[in-house]
Amino acid sequence: MAIYNIFIMTVAILLQVYSRPTTAAHFVLVHGSGHGAWCWYKLAALLEQAGQNVTAIDLAYSGRNEIPLISVRTIDGYQEPLFTYLECLSPQDKVILVGHSYGGYAISSAMERFPAKLTGAVFVSAFMVGPNLTFNQLGASFNPGASFFNDSKYIGDPPRIVLFGPNYLATKLYQNSPPQDLKLANYSVRTTQFFYGELTNRQLLVTNERYGSVRRAYVIGGMDMAIPPDSQRLFIASNPPEIVREIPGADHMVMLSTPQEFCANLLEIAQVFTGSR
Active site residues: 101, 224, 252
Radius of gyration in angstroms for the set of CA atoms belonging to the chain, rounded to a whole number: 18
CA 34/CA 32 separation, integer angstroms: 7
CA 65/CA 141 separation, integer angstroms: 31
Beta bridge partners of 244: 218
CA 75/CA 106 separation, integer angstroms: 8
CA 211/CA 226 separation, integer angstroms: 26
- Give CB contacts under 8 A, 24+ apart, made by 66-71: 69/161, 69/191, 69/192, 69/193
Amino acid at 152: S
Count CB neighbours of 7 within 10 A: 12
CA 219/CA 77 separation, integer angstroms: 27
